[in-house]
Amino acid sequence: MSHIKRILVTGGAGFLGSHLCERLVEAGHDVICLDNFFTSQKSNIERLLDFHNFEFIRHDITMPVWLEVDEIYNLACPAAPGHYQYNPIKTTKTSVMGAINVLGIAKRCRARVLQASTSEVYGDPEIHPQPESYRGNVNPIGPRACYDEGKRVAETLFMDYHRSNRVEIKIVRIFNTYGPRMHPYDGRVVSNFIRQAINDEPITLYGDGSQTRSFCYRDDLVEAMIRMMDCDGSFIGPVNIGNPHEFTIRQLAELVVKYTGSKSKFVHKPLPEDDPLQRQPDITLAKEKLDWEPKIELEAGLKATIEWFRNIDMSHYRAPTPNHD
């Protein structure tokens, strides 16, 4: 490798952050992982602690931090509805103050900074699939707004720092992602279904299970983020990162039951307020600008994720909030 970079990863002990840290450490970079462990686990980064080019800082990104870095990946924010709705004011502060604080570092250090935004900026979409040009259909006063609008404001801040202060920015909009190291109690469908299925518990379907999601495996997603950070500075995004193959929630539940050999039955609960009925990325831009598209099929990804769930000790994972089934 020609150039070793000093790279800060906020939310670096989380599901995606820890895997990103591994990739960057293995590439030889000096990696600083910053996390407050609200929804993440120290065990996610345990194997990295012995590496000379990895350091961990326990810190809340809503508070300023002074570091000298060349690149920043801003992944800090609870991303599962049960977690981000648990303390909605804190969620908004994490997105907004966190963005201000990392952009401040980037401005001072002349560092390139990538914002992990979300498909939730599209709300409950009226256009399908969703291209980056779609401005969204978000309820600004609903129970999900702390996350949706927090991430939208973060994108606004990134663009304004870029225009006003010439900060080098990158924005990726992440669609549903799954894989090993998902928090077992994050309340997302993949982890809920697998946890329920391996224990032969009833599997919870909200509504009739016909709502759709597009599931991207963790490794594919992290690869896209690294490509975005490393690509030509003139392409700043936003760019959709996700799997364009759409599945209903019921189809996902049936696959999980099949691959776990579970005896679980389905139970139905009412659909949560403002829960999007469709979610599918248009990844034309990612293919064109990053030469990227997902490689790992849902079957292979689910099997790897189920295997990981079978091999962890659930007692080592505490539910970050009371909002889990």
Domain boundaries, the chain: 6-176+217-241, 178-213+244-275+296-316
CATH 3.40.50.300 is right for the domain spanning 6-176+217-241: no
- More reliable by pLDDT, 321 or 295: 295
Nearest to residue 307, comparing CAs of 216, 204, 178, 179?
Answer: 179
Render pLDDT for 133-177 as a digit per residue (tens, 0 to 9).
999 999 999 999 999 999 999 999 999 999 999 999 999 999 999
Distances (CA, A) of 295 to 196, 214, 216, 292, 301: 27, 14, 9, 9, 10
| Cβ-based neighbour number of residue 196 at 10 Å | 22
**Which CATH topology does 178-213+244-275+296-316 take?**
UDP-galactose 4-epimerase; domain 1 (3.90.25)
Q: What is the pLDDT of residues 197-208, one digit of tens each?
A: 999 999 999 888
Cis peptide before 294 (omega within 30 of 0): no
Looking at the DSSP bridge assignments, the partners of residue 137 are: 123
Answer whether 6-176+217-241 and 178-213+244-275+296-316 agree in fold: no
pTM of the model: 0.94
Q: Which residue among the candidates 84, 86, 147, 217 is catalytic per the annotation?
A: 147
pLDDT of 272 > 70? The answer is yes
Q: By C-alpha distance, which of 60, 26, 20, 18 is closest to 43? A: 18
Examine residue 320 and say whether the peptide bond preceding it is cis (omega within 30 degrees of 0): no
- On whether the CB atoms of residues 36 and 63 are closer than 8 A, the answer is no
φ, ψ of residue 212 to 5 degrees: the values are -110, 150
Q: Does the active-site annotation cover 84?
A: no
- pLDDT given at position 278: 80
Per-residue pLDDT tens over the stretch 51-64? 999 999 999 999 99
Q: With contact defined as beta carbons under 8 Å apart, do 76 and 94 qualify? A: yes
Residue-wise pLDDT tens digits, 67-76: 999 999 999 9
pLDDT digit string, tens, across residues 181-200? 998 888 889 999 999 999 99
> In angstroms, what CA-CA distances link 24 with 101, 225, 229, 242, 255?
22, 11, 12, 21, 33
From residue 284, alpha-carbon distances to 131, 133, 226, 241, 310 in Å are: 8, 12, 18, 10, 36
